[in-house]
Structure 1
Amino acid sequence: MLSQALSFRYVGDSGVDETMNQQLEIKNALPESLAPVLSFTALDKNEHVLPHVKVSTVYGSDRGNLVAPYGVSVDILRFSGPGEHDVADVRVTVRSTTEARIPAGAHDVTTQALDSHGREISRFERFSAVRLTNEDDVPASVRIAYILWDQPPKGVTQQAVEVTAVGGLTQVPAHGTAVVKVSGKAAAAVARNSNGPAVSIKAYNSQ
């Protein structure tokens, strides 16, 4: 079964600066890229179930939206409800798994914010487009998430509080680039959150 090729590890805080919190590491032991549908149970530090905490994802591994290539890829988890700050681990259930229609490469597609003149700027500024770069030998099929993070007190993991899609499914050629314009809801989110303390622009393999 394809689902048996998948294993998972939750990393609340890696301890490394500039590393996103609440990551789910997905390890795929098969050479084929997989698109799983996962569900999650939140656990406290004693591995007890937190029944009132809802777990959702940023990249969509709970909806079959994330493509996991061979090796390790990640999704980002979001917690809500009473006890959300007590989550120390998650139990992952694989609901289904299919082979992805579009295989993914080994490396993450990287993002670069651009201004209206195509110049590189910081992700914290009010950007007008995102340049995607694919260093793999195969084309990539990705989506872009613009993420606003909260500012928690010390000892509490940082959580994605707002996630906005930039553009739609985008093809990036092998060893090439693609530029996605920021418009609609994404433009509003960038205008609202630019010059703030904590945002990310992330591309993830999808279909």
Structure 2
Amino acid sequence: MASKALSFHYVGDSGVDETMNQILELTNNYPASVVPELSFQALDKHDHVLRQVKVSTVYGSDRGELVAPYGASNDILRFSGPGKHDVADVRVTVRNTTIASIPAGLHEVTTQALDSQGREIVRFERFSAVRLTNEDDIPVSVRIAYILWDQPPKGVTQQAIEVTAIGDLTRVPAHGTAVVHVTGKAAAAVARNSNGPAVSIKAYNSQ
């Protein structure tokens, strides 16, 4: 399929409180869910390539893991190497695009942290499970990322410094829920980071 069906916009900081930084907004104009494989070049404020900065993603649009529905979706970018704080934009190259074997819904699957008794708690506490809720008319399959954010000085975008998968690929029924228990490396990450730093629990369409 033509790579021109995809377009991109990078938002380093939206300026809105309690929103994630370093977001890659994807727009898919193809009338089906697709799986992109992207590569990136980091650019400074003068649109010069920052050749020592490596760009990777949280949701996997650079490794064929993210499923992008028709319309809008997003990924989170991570920068490393000398000059990582100078990134003002990114140049995106579509290496490959395929039709998804599992369609994505139009709405984001939401997450809710649960304690060991199944009660709702905030994501900053030490949670034992995550409840996924799907608003769409079709079943979807998602992965969960537990993200630890750094605490940068003013004027520097907040970066995902640690990303841990919770569970595996999980099917969420149409207009339904699924519960994923926190085990192994994910449980260790939650224990290490609870009641402290800024964290997010994000579900993203995958296959």
TM-score by length of 1: 0.99
CA contact (8 A) 1:147 1:200 kept: yes
Determine whether 1:69 maps to 2:69.
yes
How far did 1:2 drift?
Answer: 3.1
Write the letter of the residue equivalent to 1:4.
K
CA distance in 2, matches of 1:3, 1:137: 28
Runs of at least 4 residues of structure 1 off by over 2 A?
none
CA distance in 1, matches of 2:117, 2:91: 46
- Alignment partner of 1:186: what SS? helix
CA contact (8 A) 1:148 1:193 kept: yes
CA distance in 2, matches of 1:142, 1:193: 23
CA distance in 1, matches of 2:103, 2:145: 20
- Alignment partner of 2:155: what SS? coil
CA distance in 1, matches of 2:71, 2:18: 22
1:198 aligned residue: 198
2:153 aligned residue: 153
Write the letter of the residue equivalent to 2:171.
Q
CA distance in 1, matches of 2:107, 2:2: 22
- Alignment partner of 2:3: what SS? helix
- Alignment partner of 1:170: what SS? strand
Q: Provide structure 2 residue ranges, at least 5 long, that are not aligned to the other structure.
A: none
CA contact (8 A) 1:38 1:92 kept: yes
Aligned residues: 207
Write the letter of the residue equivalent to 2:190.
V
- Alignment partner of 2:13: what SS? coil
CA distance in 2, matches of 1:110, 1:31: 24
1:23 aligned residue: 23
How far did 1:23 drift?
Answer: 0.2
Write the letter of the residue equivalent to 1:156.
V
1:139 aligned residue: 139
How far did 1:3 drift?
Answer: 1.4
Determine whether 1:104 maps to 2:104.
yes
| Root-mean-square deviation (Å) | 0.5
1:94 aligned residue: 94
2:13 aligned residue: 13
CA distance in 2, matches of 1:160, 1:75: 12
CA distance in 2, matches of 1:203, 1:137: 18
How far did 1:129 drift?
Answer: 0.1
TM-superposition CA deviations, 1:58-102 (whole Å, max 9, x none) = 000000000000111000000000000000000000000000000
CA distance in 2, matches of 1:186, 1:137: 30
Write the letter of the residue equivalent to 2:16.
V
Pairing of 1:112-123 with structure 2 (within 5 A): 112-123=112-123
- Alignment partner of 2:85: what SS? helix
- Alignment partner of 1:85: what SS? helix
CA contact (8 A) 1:2 1:98 kept: no
CA distance in 1, matches of 2:183, 2:78: 25
Write the letter of the residue equivalent to 2:166.
V
CA distance in 1, matches of 2:31, 2:124: 37
CA distance in 1, matches of 2:138, 2:66: 18
Q: Provide structure 1 residue ranges, at least 5 long, that are not aligned to the other structure.
A: none
Identity level (%): 83
